[in-house]
Amino acid sequence: MRLAFFSPFNPLKTGVADYSEELLPSLAEHSDVDLVVDRYALSNPAIRDRFRVLTPAQFIAHADRYDMAVYQLANSVDQHGYMVPCMKHAPGITVLHDYYLHFLMLGLTLMKGDMPALKRTLSGKYGGSGSALAHRMLFGLFDPYQVSTTVPLVNMSRGVIMHSRFGERLVSEDAGAKPVRVVPMGIPIRPLLDPVAMKRKYNFADDSFVLASVSTLSHTKRIPTILQAVSRLRSRHPNLKLLILGGGKLGSHARGLIQSLDLSGTVRQTGWMPHDGYWECLNLADAVIDLRYPSGAETSASLLRAMSAAKPVIASKQGSFLELPPDCSQKISVGETETQELFEAVTRLIEDRSLTEQMGSASRRYVETHHRVDLAAQAYVEFIREVQQAPCTDPVEDWFSVAPNVISRTAYSSVYKLSRLVALLKNYGVSDTVRRLRAGTQRASRPETREMSAGGGA
């Protein structure tokens, strides 16, 4: 079986890149795989030198050489937008890392000033109210976690893979008769490291209790709530430390809380880390926390990595987190009692180290049983073969066609970009908004990579 595999890859700083690079060697044991990427050179030699790399145009010209295309889709138009024309030309297996995908779909429609395309996108799920909803989205007057834009992407697929039962239920409402399969996210099982040795390496005291926040720094990840709970805990447990793993900058609210609550000596932020350093920090932690609300039915790869490091989990009581077993996780309600419940959950782990160890061991067993990479690759192959047996007969509707009126196209695009800027300023502040805009400009100005990697034949 020959597969075309679409995904962002390193050096792009995204969890989907790490996921794909970890999955590919196991997937290649069952099939011949070529990679399709857009406008950059891969930095991981283990992937770059093993797999043939194509541009989207090269894939479209030779799509009939492949038994199936596999599209890894998440909520970024910069990293995933290039896949959509290929999906229209060659429908395949779509792996949704997010259910709502508003940034991807707004980037493909309103960013280009194509309001008719957005209306068609929304009418597929919301019928006659789709037009009014499109105008609210134009001005940013909507909750992005209450509006799904995935119907066109599901329609351009022969089958859909989700990483959780929660995500499967959401997508099944849009998929009709198309098959949807849960394939738990695969995580490499690495040897454990000595926590005390890692604490010393990173200048933590041996007797410190390190609570690691393993999610990204998005405004949805409840960092201010965590800081408020840590402030309350510190007077009772002065050896508590909060380690914030992940790239990006803390929002202005969180930075202000660290100062006002006098947490500068308690909180440490690492920034984006290479794989080995990230693994070392997971091993030195005593427990991990991943709060998020709202969420897009995504599965937290960072949390699963922490669980593979034998760490007990504190997570939000919502979405796919509800599927975590109780013997390795404590779940926190989102709302008025969130800070108090978090305070109590961390207190239990600090004051009962045997419970912490038991839950950590259960975390490791859970990942070893349900989230091995080889099991995920085998499930991919089984689902692809199942979908292959069903003929692809449904015509693919042309959802995306830029409106011909240049004036209206420019006006819609300008209004959307302004509303997006306002939202960024509200959620991240001036400095981080400028950083994000600069990063987007740099990506847009990259020359397209035309040199193909060695390995594999067309």
Q: pLDDT digits over 7-19, tens only?
A: 999 999 888 999 9
| 273 in the same domain as 140 | no
| 171 in the same domain as 226 | no
Residue 400: per-residue pLDDT: 66
pLDDT at 92 over 60: yes
Order the strands of the 180-182 sheet from edge to edge: 53-54, 32-36, 2-6, 68-73, 92-96, 157-162, 180-182
Contacts of 248 (CB under 8 A, 6+ apart): 216, 217, 218, 272, 432
Residue 252: per-residue pLDDT: 72
Number of compact structural domains in the chain: 2
How many beta carbons lie within 10 A of that of residue 74, not counting itself? 22
Confidence category of residue 454, pLDDT binned at 50, 70, 90: very low
Structure tokens at 408: 């209206």
Q: Would you say residue 351 lies in a domain?
A: yes
| 337 in the same domain as 228 | yes
Q: pLDDT digits over 339-349, tens only?
A: 999 999 999 99
- Domain of residue 135: give its range: 2-186+375-395+403-444
- 290 in Cβ contact with 215 (< 8 Å): yes
Cα–Cα distance between 218 and 201 in angstroms, integer? 28
Q: Would you say residue 231 lies in a domain?
A: yes
Q: Which pTM value belongs to this model?
A: 0.89
Q: How far is CA 404 from CA 113, 138, 345, in A?
A: 10, 19, 57
pLDDT at 84 over 80: yes
Q: Would you say residue 454 lies in a domain?
A: no
**In this structure, what are the phi and psi dihedrals at residue 161, rounded to the nearest 5 degrees?**
-110, 130
Cα–Cα distance between 68 and 85 in angstroms, integer? 15
Confidence category of residue 423, pLDDT binned at 50, 70, 90: confident
Percent of the chain with pLDDT over 90: 68
CATH of the domain at 345: 3.40.50.2000
Q: Which of 320, 355, 371 is the last residue of a domain?
A: 371
pLDDT at 443 over 60: no
Residue 448: per-residue pLDDT: 41
Q: Would you say residue 59 lies in a domain?
A: yes
Handedness of CA 356, 360, 361, 365 (dihedral sign): positive
| 257 in the same domain as 328 | yes
- 183 in Cβ contact with 161 (< 8 Å): yes
Residue whose pair of structure tokens reads 């909803």 in the numeric block? 133
| 312 in the same domain as 295 | yes
Q: Would you say residue 103 lies in a domain?
A: yes
Q: pLDDT digits over 394-403, tens only?
A: 656 666 665 5
The whole-number average pLDDT for the span 402-420 is 82
| 324 in the same domain as 199 | yes
Q: Would you say residue 451 lies in a domain?
A: no
CATH of the domain at 131: 3.40.50.11930
Q: Would you say residue 353 lies in a domain?
A: yes
pLDDT at 322 over 60: yes
Q: Which residue has the higher pLDDT, 196 or 141?
A: 196
Structure tokens at 390: 């069903």
What rounded mean pLDDT belongs to the chain? 89
| 68 in the same domain as 180 | yes
Q: Would you say residue 457 lies in a domain?
A: no
| 61 in the same domain as 110 | yes
Question: Cα 361 to chain center, whole Å?
Answer: 26
Residue 349: per-residue pLDDT: 97
| 365 in the same domain as 379 | no
| 342 in the same domain as 296 | yes
| 261 in the same domain as 135 | no
Residue 409: per-residue pLDDT: 85
| 238 in the same domain as 346 | yes
